[in-house]
Amino acid sequence: MSELRKKHPKAGTCVELFAGGGGLALGVHNAGFRPLLVNEYAKRAIETLQTNPMPGGGKWPLKPGDVRDLQDDFKKLKDQVDLLAGGPPCQPFSLGGVAKGTEDERNMFPQMFRAIQEMRPKAVICENVRGLLRKSFDPYFKYILNEMRLPFVKRDKDATWEDHNDVLEKLLANDSVPASERYIVKHHPVNAADFGVPQIRQRVVIVAFRADLGINENDWDIFAPKATHSDESLIHSMRKGGEYWGRHREVSEEAKDRAIANLPGLNYDNPKTKEKLTLQPWRTLRDAIQGVDEFEGHPLPFVDEAAVNGKTPVGEISDHFGWPGARVYTGHTPNLLDRPAKTVKAGVHGVPGGESVMMMDNPTFDGSGYRYMTVRETARVMTFPDKWTLAGPRGEKMRQLGNAVPVKLGEVFADAIAAALDSVGALEKHGRKQ
């Protein structure tokens, strides 16, 4: 599939908040939604969105700045939005963000709820870190879901979130709120690798539908994305003579033998293993670099020692340049080429060293056997198209990628939402202006 080719005939409208470097915005657009408004606060991410056209052409309808300053913008779009999408800043709930939770002023979930109140979108998709599901945050996470179920029940000025949650739970128990003011809400713990993203990325995706549309939880279960890839299938395909090596003939026998020697065993008699083997193999870092799937077999040019030491661009693709100083140490183990990449992180103090270091096939490379992943390799791990350029110095580019939603994961969920809306005739068939 071409990186930018549309494969969906459906067309609805969407609003994207906390757009960052554009991962979820691209995924939602690829699923057939036409953006009416895109908001982002960070300077470099804004520059990225300003630099890159929408797939098919045209500028993103960008409203830069603090989402809290968007007042009339939301109200003007009331009842015009099919899908509200966003990943509120996750620092309040992640281990990397010192886990302040509700005490952290960066908690932007209240702004998502205000957007729902003022625009009344038909559906909502919200992606965030798996830290939301930690036991310590369980009460507040349940409150997030309840507030999304009843977003029009406003919280009293002096009420704590616990007080407001008590009000919401009583209303939900009594089933006394009209369907037009309620949302059906489901959350999905996901690993992006299970959907063909060449990266281990544990997240939670919250999906909501306005209740008066007639899509209930059982209906959504029919459309909700199911895993398409598995680790078991990858392991099986990497056995000697397996399909994995058939598409990676460039790998030396020595490197191949090392990878095969480290493969875990599989219990082929286990029914769960048999089920997993019917899925496609997880995609690996090597797959991303060599151009499997959306990159149509176009490998990235090899980054040699000279390019690393000189921070030199390699080839014509943007953001593919070497970077010196890679090393591993306790707690910072490298990415392996024949596994999905480790989670791409932004980090409180920048990108952690081990998360973007990779072990090369040749153990003598640079005298250490390691090098940093290029920005473009990292972008491929996040399934951004090669034509998508990132603004700012290397650290800022990596930060945008670490904060993003993998494009493919966003598209999978947005496509399922479009299908659910279409099933009840709720998806507006707008002519897309591109």
The span from the CA of 154 to the CA of 190, in Å, is: 31
Alpha helices in 193-318 (DSSP H): 217-223, 231-237, 243-246, 253-261, 271-276, 285-290, 305-310
The span from the CA of 300 to the CA of 316, in Å, is: 10
**Looking at this protein, which amino acid is placed at residue 194?**
D
H or E stretch at 153: none
Which tokens in the block code for residue 33?
Answer: 């939604």
3-state secondary structure 268-329: CCCHHHHHHCCCEECCCHHHHHHCCHHHCCCCCCCCCHHHHHHCCECCCCCCCECCCCCCCE
What's CA 12's distance to the chain center, in Å?
A: 21
3-state DSSP assignment of residue 203 = strand
Nearest CA to 38 out of 24, 407, 75 is that of: 24
Residue with tokens 């179920």: 149
Catalytic residue among 54, 77, 90, 421: 90
- Burial (0-12, 13-18, 19+ Cβ within 10 Å), 59: exposed
The span from the CA of 326 to the CA of 381, in Å, is: 19
- Torsion angles phi and psi, residue 9, rounded to 5: -80, -20
Is 126 marked active-site? no
Residues catalogued as catalytic: 90
